[in-house]
């Protein structure tokens, strides 16, 4: 059955007009392209041709040691400056002041905010660094100079240690200078980042860099590199242990004073016994001996737990005081 025979004349004309209107659109229409595969994420790692410097930077932090390898061919000016600053002690007693809440990086503070004030010579070494953009990317373990936003040539001493890949930092024409990578100690970086910090990434405990060293490959084994440790051990060693050691020194000094007083009181006791009517003086000497002996027992008993000779000495002292009292009765 044809279209002409199946439709009345009026409807046939409307159908022909509709078909004519759709012909140009059908002629221009193109088939939709087939969906392609999803984009592949590629992590760019340092190439074998990116030569490492002979020197290594060792950051001795409260959570362990971090060994940094440098790229002198990618960022020669920055590498020379970092080696100069570390070798001059500029990074000593600075700290990691920011832990990125998203987990991308850990940031070292400006060296001018360290505990020990910079000397005049150290201050003169710090100057803005020109940006050096190379083929390296912000991947886990990379070291990247921090700078002011939109001002590539304002980097000074602060830098980031990447904890995971951060491609958003690789902005064409506005990236950051990558000058090295963590060769050893990423577990220390994670230990530093694992501590409690505020919502904006400020650590509750100061993550101090005790010292920054420049070392060659032969010197690294002699440094006795420390693995990851909790900041709690540093708080003990930096605060509790020095106080304990100072108290122990005071105990020994006081014990020496009491022992000297005891010896003098014993000598005075035997001299006073030869004098007539000296019972009161002898009683005073014995009182001093008893007090000094008691204080020696209090001060030295804890030390006797680890030093047997101190325990033997305290026992002999106790027997000698008892014998001295017997002399008084006689």
Query: Which pLDDT tens digits describe the chain residue by residue (330 residues)?
Result: 444 444 455 555 545 555 555 444 444 444 444 554 444 333 334 444 468 899 999 999 999 999 999 999 999 999 999 999 999 999 999 999 999 999 999 999 999 889 888 889 999 999 999 999 888 999 999 999 999 988 989 999 999 999 999 999 998 877 899 999 999 999 999 999 988 888 999 998 889 999 999 998 888 888 889 989 877 666 555 544 454 455 667 778 888 888 888 888 888 888 887 777 777 788 888 888 888 888 888 888 777 766 778 888 888 888 888 887 776 665
Distance CA 46, CA 27 (A): 53
Collapsing DSSP states into helix, strand and coil, what is residue 203? strand
pTM attached to this predicted model: 0.58
Hey, where are the domains in the chain?
A: 56-229, 238-329
Distance CA 79, CA 107 (A): 18
CATH class, domain 56-229, is mainly beta
């Amino acid at each position: 059955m044809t279209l002409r025979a199946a439709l009345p004349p009026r409807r046939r004309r409307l159908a022909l007009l509709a078909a004519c209107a759709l012909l140009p659109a059908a002629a221009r229409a193109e088939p939709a392209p087939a969906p392609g595969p999803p984009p592949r994420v590629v992590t760019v790692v340092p190439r074998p041709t990116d030569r490492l410097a002979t020197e290594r930077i060792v950051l001795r932090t409260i959570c362990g040691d971090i060994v940094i390898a440098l790229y002198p061919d990618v960022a020669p000016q920055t590498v020379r400056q970092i080696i100069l600053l570390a070798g001059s002690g500029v990074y000593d007693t600075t700290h990691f002041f920011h832990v990125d809440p998203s987990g991308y990086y850990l940031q070292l503070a400006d060296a001018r905010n360290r505990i020990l004030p910079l000397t005049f010579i150290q201050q003169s070494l710090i100057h803005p660094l020109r940006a050096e953009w190379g083929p390296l990317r912000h991947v886990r373990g990379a070291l990247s100079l921090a700078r002011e936003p939109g001002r590539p040539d304002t980097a000074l001493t602060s830098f980031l240690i990447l904890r995971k890949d951060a491609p958003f930092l690789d902005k064409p024409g506005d990236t950051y200078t990558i000058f090295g990578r963590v060769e050893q100690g990423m577990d220390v970086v994670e230990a530093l980042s694992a501590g409690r910090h505020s919502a904006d990434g400020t650590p509750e405990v100061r993550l101090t860099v005790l010292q920054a060293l420049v070392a060659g490959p032969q010197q690294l084994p002699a440094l006795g590199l420390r693995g990851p440790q909790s900041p709690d051990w540093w708080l003990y060693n930096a605060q509790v242990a020095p106080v304990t050691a100072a108290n122990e020194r005071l105990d020994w000094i006081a014990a020496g004073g009491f022992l000297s007083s005891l010896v003098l009181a014993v000598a005075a006791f035997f001299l006073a016994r030869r004098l007539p009517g000296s019972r009161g003086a002898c009683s005073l000497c014995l009182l001093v001996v008893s007090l000094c002996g008691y204080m020696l027992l209090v001060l030295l008993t804890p030390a006797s737990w680890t030093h047997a000779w101190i325990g033997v000495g305290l026992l002999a002292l106790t027997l000698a005081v008892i014998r001295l009292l017997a002399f008084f009765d006689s």
